[in-house]
Amino acid sequence: MLGGVLSGALIGLFFHKEEWMGGYASFRRRLTRLGHISFFGLGFVNLLFGLTANTIHLPITNTTISSVCFLVGAISMPISCFLTAWRQYFRHLFPIPVASVLFGIISLLVGWP
């Protein structure tokens, strides 16, 4: 979540410029905003998972798999967004965070008592 605050502060220095990064609706600016908000969104997923994993008594294997997958997603999603905003060919990285979070959710559901 610190990454979200820092990237938001950096983005906030320029958001008042109408044509910054090609304008508000530009691909680059949208991906930059998505990268910023993904720090918070996936950070909350990790936080809530950490607070509830023990209370629902998941098997340790499922807890570990879900935890690692959610962490990989939380790190790789903002990176994928910012790199894609910089150079569009980095869009091919998006299956990494998407698959990671998906596998984390599947592991969580499979281990659900």
Q: What is the pLDDT of residue 12?
A: 82
The domain segmentation of the chain, as residue ranges, is 2-111
pLDDT band of residue 112 (cuts 50, 70, 90) is confident
Does residue 35 contact residue 78 with C-beta atoms inside 8 Å?
yes
Query: N- to C-terminal Cα distance for the chain?
Result: 30
Phi/psi-derived region of residue 57, left when phi > 0, alpha when psi is between -120 and 50, beta in every other case: left
Measured in whole angstroms, the distance separating CA 60 from the mean position of its chain's CA atoms is: 24
The C-alpha atoms of residue 32 and residue 85 are separated, in whole angstroms, by 6
Q: Please report, to the nearest 10 degrees, the dihedral formed by the alpha carbons of residues 7, 32, 90, 94 taken in order.
A: 90
Q: What is the mean pLDDT of the chain?
A: 92
61 CB neighbour count, 10 Å cutoff: 11
Share of the chain above pLDDT 70, in %: 100
Answer whether 9's CB lies under 8 Å from 84's CB.
no
pLDDT in tens, 40-90: 999 999 999 999 888 888 999 999 999 999 999 999 999 999 999 999 999
Amino acid identity for residue 22 in this structure: G
